[in-house]
Amino acid sequence: MIITELLEKNARFHGDNVSLVEINPANRPADHITWKEFNLIETAPNEKYRREITWKEFDVKANKIANFLLSRGIKKGEKVAILLMNCLEWLPIYFGILKSGALAVPMNYRYTSDEIAYCSDLCDASYLIFGPDFTERVDAVKNQLTKVKSFFYVGQDTPDFAENLDILSSYCSSGSPSVELSEDDDAAIYFSSGTTGFPKAILHSHKALINSCRTEQNHHGQTIDDVFLCIPPLYHTGAKMHWFGSLISGGKCVLLRGVSPEWVLRTVSEEKATIVWLLVPWVQDILDAIDSGKVKLSDYRLSQWRLMHIGAQPVPPSLIKRWLKVFPNHKYDTNYGLSESIGPGCVHLGVDNIDKVGAIGVPGYLWEAKIVRENGTETDVEEVGELAVKGPGVMKCYYKNPKATAEILKDGWLFTGDMAKRDKDGFIYLVDRKKDVIITGGENLYPVQIEDFLRTCDKIKDVAVIGLPDKRLGEIAAAIIELKPDVTCTEDEINEFCLGLPRYKRPRKIIFADVPRNPTGKIEKPRLREIYCGERLVESQTTH
């Protein structure tokens, strides 16, 4: 089965049901305006607070996009880059590209002009679809994009070097294009994390996409009655592959263009969301807002909210225990994955394993996992080694990079670069990134373990631990600490708190500063090393 067939099935059997909703808090009407009155106000589509489409409309839009691309001579296997903020048009465009037989190539919305040019060239993009947020960046490098045949624009005020995709596709047939596709055909290219230098292009097949749907639904049991609140960026495999649970079940998805605690809770309440995928910083912000009285749970309808799950970075056990005290009726899951493994789910905690909070879990549905030593043999219980995974979502390769592919893919196993250990019950615990391990005086320090400890301090909002060069010990652990708002704390207080750690694990240097995270919630440790060590940015292979 091809993933586009799921969309067509939903259009046939649930055509009048709402498939996608876009909420844009920046355009929220004044509270004294009623919903009915607001709907009568004349506003441009991208200026509305709330927009929605049905499954039938979703499929029709995708067909029109596909037929337009085919009318422009697109060939099976060509690449179409997508550079859009989360919006109602995003997924119909993605599926339209797939239906045309081309490969969808989502790009990080934080890319600079140079990164846009680099990634477009790397993936051999023949077409580039972009929105108003990117006009200046694309304009700056349009003459360098020699492989791009046409620029298509989504929105109002089309720049003179592009054509308006909305207008042109509106004249095309709404029927499904007759392009033969198989599970083995190439489907999409995603990019490794762009926070650490120029990324690699990750090639996935249609088989990987459809199996991601099956894995997601198996883990979280989505039904047609579920409403999934999606906040992270759709260019990333995490957000999209969690949404695949809605696609396979025919459920509704709400795209929220805002991350404030008030807007998350308000949207859960107004849209009756049942499943919410959050990142660690957002969970922290929500809990802090509740604790401070900034938001009151009694102001919202939250009883239908059944599942909160987290992915994209190591999850502090103390944070989840704190969450479950506030939301005791929630199911919870941790999701681990890489863009190289088609996003989340190759390892997951499982909603019934709350007693194992702190673990990333067990191999996901249709997946295998193992932990290996440097010599390739499997580790014993509680022994640290490198995590490797195997399953139907493993990438085909790094596009045009056989050397990097050979380094990470071995006999069908994807070597993640993450250090992990397994307990006696078979649950896997993430210890740290292989290259983030700090070696101090011959001892291996795993920053995640130190970070988890420090996050139990009531004054700390976020923390990152990195290694700093040291003439005597080789490296020492430094803790970059971001305090909660309006909180004061001294280095001596932190050092006293760290007496709860073994001596060799205690940070030797304390730095009070913001902890930078990328759009998918990962701490930008290479950026911190560049700031505090003068270390040049190097490329990372994974995007958890």
- Annotate 304-315 with DSSP letters as a single string: T--EEEE-SS--
Q: How many helices (H) and strands (E) does the chain have?
A: 16, 27
Final residue belonging to a domain, choices 116, 150, 181: 181
Q: At 83, which CATH number? A: 3.40.50.980
Question: Do both 296 and 397 map to the same domain?
Answer: yes
| 395 and 441 belong to one structural domain | no
Are 281 and 312 members of one domain? yes
pLDDT for 542: 32
Q: Tell me how many domains the chain contains.
A: 3
How far apart CA 515 and CA 524 sit, in angstroms, is 8
304 in the same domain as 371: yes
Which of 433, 453, 481 is where one domain is finished? 433
The residue behind tokens 């509704």 is 252
394 shares its domain with 487: no
- The three-class DSSP label of residue 518 is coil
State whether 239 and 120 are in the same domain: no
Whether 263 maps to a domain, the answer reads yes
Q: What CATH number is attached to the domain comprising 450?
A: 3.30.300.30
Q: Would you say residue 3 lies in a domain?
A: no
φ, ψ (nearest 5 deg) of residue 148 = -80, 120
User: Which tokens in the block code for residue 206?
Assistant: 């249609």
* 198 belongs to a structural domain: no
Pair 232, 374 in one domain: yes
Exposed, middle or buried by CB within 10 Å (0-12, 13-18, 19+), for 539?
middle
Name the nearest CA neighbour of 68 among 163, 140, 4: 163
Given a contact cutoff of 8 angstroms between Cβ atoms, the answer to whether 83 and 130 are in contact is: yes
- Which helix (H) or strand (E) element contains residue 240? helix 237-249
Does residue 537 lie within any of the structural domains?
no
Question: Could you give the C-alpha distances from 361 to 124, 164, 383, in angstroms and in order?
Answer: 37, 46, 16
| Domain-embedded: residue 320 | yes
- Average pLDDT, consecutive stretches of 10 residues, N- to C-terminus, the chain (544 residues): 96 98 82 43 62 97 98 97 96 98 94 92 98 97 96 96 96 95 97 66 97 96 98 90 96 95 96 93 90 94 96 76 94 92 92 91 96 94 95 96 94 92 94 77 77 91 90 83 92 93 88 85 81 55 32
What CATH number does residue 303 fall under? 3.40.50.12780
What pLDDT, on the 0 to 100 scale, is given for residue 110?
Answer: 82
Cα distance between the two ends of the chain = 27
Distance between CA atoms of residues 522 and 436, nearest Å: 13
Q: Is the pTM of this model over 0.85?
A: no
Q: Quote the domain boundaries for residue 324.
A: 227-433
Examine the domain organization and report whether 261 and 343 are in the same domain: yes
Question: Would residue 361 count as lying in a domain?
Answer: yes
- Say how far apart CA 330 and CA 35 lie, in whole Å: 30
Same-domain check for residues 281 and 429: yes
Q: Domain boundary at 126, 149, 181, which?
A: 181
Residues 459 and 364 in one domain: no
Residue 518's alpha-carbon distances to 348, 452, 468, in angstroms, are: 22, 19, 22
Question: Which of these, 217, 269, 272, 268, lies nearest to 247 by C-alpha position?
Answer: 217
User: Are residues 142 and 232 located together in one domain of the fold?
Assistant: no
* Per-residue pLDDT, 229: 98
* Strand partners of residue 52: 21
In a domain, 17, yes or no: no
Measured distance CA(127)–CA(150) in Å, rounded: 5
Does residue 536 form part of some domain? no
- Residue 258 has phi, psi (to 5 degrees) of 180, 150
> Can you say how many angstroms the Cα of residue 138 is from the centroid of all Cα atoms in its chain?
23
289 and 416: one domain?
yes
